[in-house]
Amino acid sequence: MKSLAHSLLLLGLCALMVLVPSASRKSPAQQTVADKQTPRLTLSREKNMLYIHGDHIPGGTIPINYLEAYCRAGSTDADWGKHTVVKHETQTIDLNDDRTVLKLKCTVADGIIVEHTITAKSDEVDFQLIAHNPTQVRSEVHWAQPCIRVGDFAGLGADQTDDKYAYIRKSFIFLDGKPAFMPTRNWATTARYIPGQVWCPANVPRTDVNPRPLSSEVPSNGLIGCYSADDRWIFATAFEPYQELFQGVIRCLHADFRLGGLQPGETKKIRGKIYIVPADMNALVKRYQNDFPEHAQKR
């Protein structure tokens, strides 16, 4: 009897040693679930379009015409094709294996070179740009446009509605330090090209922005964004230095960045963010203010 009891005790201890570690480990299925709960953004590029991918993103993908155009000054009341746009060509230099770091090179017709390092993280995409003028003459380029298509994110894309401007009711800038949903107060309706809406910061000449209706309102900061279809997520973007905020005509939002015309041999750095975060506006604003402290001084 003692021998039998001893054998049973040893068997029980062995079983316990096997069961305890296995209980603390996640099965492959559990690990997959855990991975899916962690937001993950990746990048791809086709022709002139940059795509942000994420299983958690409403709509699945955010397309960006990157870059739509490099632009001259004196653009507010000028012909877009004949005067404003400076032609450019964008080349993909590298995309890493996990599709989180994309490097591009823009060669602009007036001779400047702009190198882009674009990094996808769990809930943001970071943009680091270096613009250099290797020529002996001043660059004509004063600003540039990343055209970010947010219609599907807002649940108001081409498959959901024929109204190309329905998405603006979920879109915002900041006036008087608070989110202001579109159409904002003093919504402008006249310009060389309509519709659309431009907001110009105080430090940028109002003669040098998009030739769409220009609001008399000065934005409180450089953040522009929109809520997702289910209001659970916020998309927002900002660049430093920035030229304008713009609600465009292809279900798009812009925080267009400023170059200011590079002198011969001059180099400038530009940085930007795209945030795709849970719908906590206060948390987003704190994060944006930490990333772009300069914008608090650019009313």
| Conformation bin of residue 74: beta by default, left when phi > 0, alpha when psi is -120 to 50 | left
Q: b vs e for 204-234, b when ≥16 Cβ sit within 10 Å of the residue's Cβ?
A: beeebbbbbbbbebebbbbbbbbbbbeeebb
> Residue 24 has what pLDDT?
37
* pLDDT tens digit sequence for 45-77: 999 999 999 999 999 999 999 999 999 999 999
* pLDDT tens digit sequence for 140-194: 999 999 999 999 999 999 999 999 999 999 999 999 999 999 999 999 999 999 9
Among the listed ranges 31-45, 171-185, 197-211, 242-256, which one has the minimum average pLDDT value? 31-45
SS3 annotation, 97-127:
CCCCEEEEEEEECCCCEEEEEEEECCCEEEE
Question: What is the pLDDT averaged over residues 253-280?
Answer: 98
3-state SS class at 175 = strand
* CA 147/CA 118 separation, integer angstroms: 15
Do 292 and 238 form a contact (C-beta atoms < 8 A)?
yes
Beta partners for residue 259, in sequence order: none
* pLDDT tens digit sequence for 76-97: 999 999 999 999 999 999 999 9
Q: Which two tokens stand for residue 213?
A: 């209706």
pLDDT at 99 over 90: yes
Do 244 and 201 form a contact (C-beta atoms < 8 A)?
yes
Q: What is the pTM of this model?
A: 0.87
